[in-house]
Structure 1
Amino acid sequence: MNIQFLENLAQLNLEDSLKFLSENFGEKMVFSTSFGIEDQVISHAIFGQKIKNIEVFTLDTGRLFPETYAVWDKTLLQYGAKIKSYYPNADAIEAFVNDNGINPFYTSIELRKECCSIRKVVPLQQGLKGAKIWITGLRAEQSENRNSLEIIQWDEQQQLFKYNPLLHWTTEDVMDYLKKNAVPYNTLHDQGFISIGCAPCTRAIKPGENFRAGRWWWEDNSKKECGLHK
């Protein structure tokens, strides 16, 4: 991928950029969705334009909210789409729970990160295998350590380009897009849940709290990540 290609991509709006990738990039591209509001925006842009050569996948940790599964189902029905799902290794989950209990992540950061690794990070490697571009719904205002991201950047760990087309979108921009295009979204967002992950590790946030305050709230750390994005 040359500099001119990257510059052309960065100048386009969301729909046009995805179409540009579809028409001009011949290698494997993937989009990972967790069915949050940002990801629903990108899903609409892909499915609404019937782009076939961007593979959409999700990670089913086995501990998602019922509302997350509901928006997953609504998305499939509305767009007639296919979303590939990856799951944690059953033996690894069985050993982790038998050794540590069902909710050990409340007791230590190390166990929480181990749980995230088994349920998310390892399955992610399956989803990214062979990909040259990874499309994400990351936004700069989501957390402090995402302010330094670029719209297009090389991910050394994954050895691919990460494309963050919504990086400079605000939450208002996202919600306006969803409503304008009648895109299904997780109803938990209307109940104060801003960043939605696994049910035991997510709560609604209070007025004035940090965007990520509802994720692993017991850890008291403003730079909380699960290991998917570093």
Structure 2
Amino acid sequence: MSVIPIVELPGTASEIPAASPLRPALWTAPEYTGSTAALEAKEAALAERLEAIASRFYRARFASSLAAEDMVITDAILRGSAALRAGIRVFTLATGRLHAETLAMLDEVKAHYGYEIERFTPDAEAVENYVRKHGLNAFYDSVELRKECCGIRKVEPLNRALSHADAWLTGQRREQAVTRADLPFEEIDEARGIPKFNPLADWTEAEVWAYLKRHAVPINALHAKGYPSIGCEPCTRAVRAGEDVRAGRWWWESRDSKECGLHEQNIKH
């Protein structure tokens, strides 16, 4: 039987008074202190990168987690030229364990942009076999079982989503984790033999949030609850102010192995 680790997290408002020292401050979006001109230059560079990708490839795909960074790219694509909007299709991996707030973003995007993000779901039989053999939350038991779950719920659906793609994009940034410190703008996805682009590789967290605010982009409600990085519900928690932005992802594991398999090259290189 899987045992869920006990994690010391801030209690709910009814459990701990707001002024209590036992309730540490949670992460909040950083304030941008740069100039408007600098931000506009970053935005222009992003638009150029996306247009260049769309012009080079016929079947580029963008994998969106529906969190902050990915909403920046989604907004840039959907407010871009008709060629850009048609050239880079946006999809998400509906793992079956996402937060309700994350799923709600699909309707938010449709209402805001008139665009329906394509969903790729895991193979139901593979999920059933994993749960029957290991338990619903067996991913807490070992890195191997966690990666097996990610493989079923995320990697295999990603493979289907990219089966006919000639390039794909992510919302990764170098600042996010030690496994992403050397993240390039363009790399080769060794598993699939196609180019992989990280258009926000050189963006700071503050720049991401400045963009979202500047363009009134829809954002996941979990960000206001202390979640800077969002994945599946049982594998993501809020983080305290000052913690690493990905500290809430697979928090029971070493920070050096926090990749789900979608970006395995980050660990190998």
> Above 0.5 in TM-score?
yes
Q: Given that residues 212 and 222 in structure 1 are in contact (C-alpha distance below 8 angstroms), is that contact kept between their aligned partners in structure 2?
A: no
User: Shift of the alpha carbon at 1:73?
Assistant: 1.2
2:58 to 27, 41, 44: 27
Tell me: CA distance 1:117–1:152, structure 2 relative to 1, closer, same or farther (3 Å): same
Aligned residues: 218
1:65 to 81, 86, 99: 99
Separation (CA, whole Å) in 2 of partners of 1:179 and 1:85: 26
Unaligned runs of 5+ in 1: 1-11
Separation (CA, whole Å) in 2 of partners of 1:54 and 1:220: 34
* Structure with greater Cα Rg: 2
Separation (CA, whole Å) in 1 of partners of 2:100 and 2:227: 14
Separation (CA, whole Å) in 2 of partners of 1:223 and 1:107: 15
User: Shift of the alpha carbon at 1:191?
Assistant: 1.6
Unaligned runs of 5+ in 2: 1-43, 265-269
What residue identity is the alignment partner of 1:18?
L
User: Shift of the alpha carbon at 1:26?
Assistant: 4.3
Residue 47 (structure 1) aligns with: 78
C-alpha offsets along residues 185-208 of structure 1, whole Å, 9 cap, x if unaligned? 112112211110000000011122
After TM superposition, the score normalised by the length of structure 1 is 0.90
After TM superposition, the score normalised by the length of structure 2 is 0.78
Separation (CA, whole Å) in 1 of partners of 2:136 and 2:186: 38
Greater relative contact order, per chain length (Cα 8 Å cut-off, separation 6+): 2
Residue 14 (structure 2) aligns with: none
Separation (CA, whole Å) in 1 of partners of 2:79 and 2:255: 38
Written as runs of structure 1 = structure 2, the 5 A alignment for 1:202-213 is 202-213=236-247
User: Shift of the alpha carbon at 1:227?
Assistant: 0.5
Q: Given that residues 31 and 136 in structure 1 are in contact (C-alpha distance below 8 angstroms), is that contact kept between their aligned partners in structure 2?
A: yes
C-alpha offsets along residues 146-188 of structure 1, whole Å, 9 cap, x if unaligned? 1111111122222111111100111110011001101001121
RMSD: 1.3
Q: Given that residues 213 and 222 in structure 1 are in contact (C-alpha distance below 8 angstroms), is that contact kept between their aligned partners in structure 2?
A: no
Q: Given that residues 41 and 174 in structure 1 are in contact (C-alpha distance below 8 angstroms), is that contact kept between their aligned partners in structure 2?
A: yes
Separation (CA, whole Å) in 1 of partners of 2:216 and 2:77: 15
Partner secondary structure for residue 255 of structure 2:
coil
Partner secondary structure for residue 86 of structure 2:
coil
Residue 204 (structure 2) aligns with: 170
State, as a whole percentage, how many aligned pairs show the same letter.
47
1:181 to 215, 221, 224: 215
Residue 121 (structure 1) aligns with: 155
2:166 to 132, 155, 179: 132
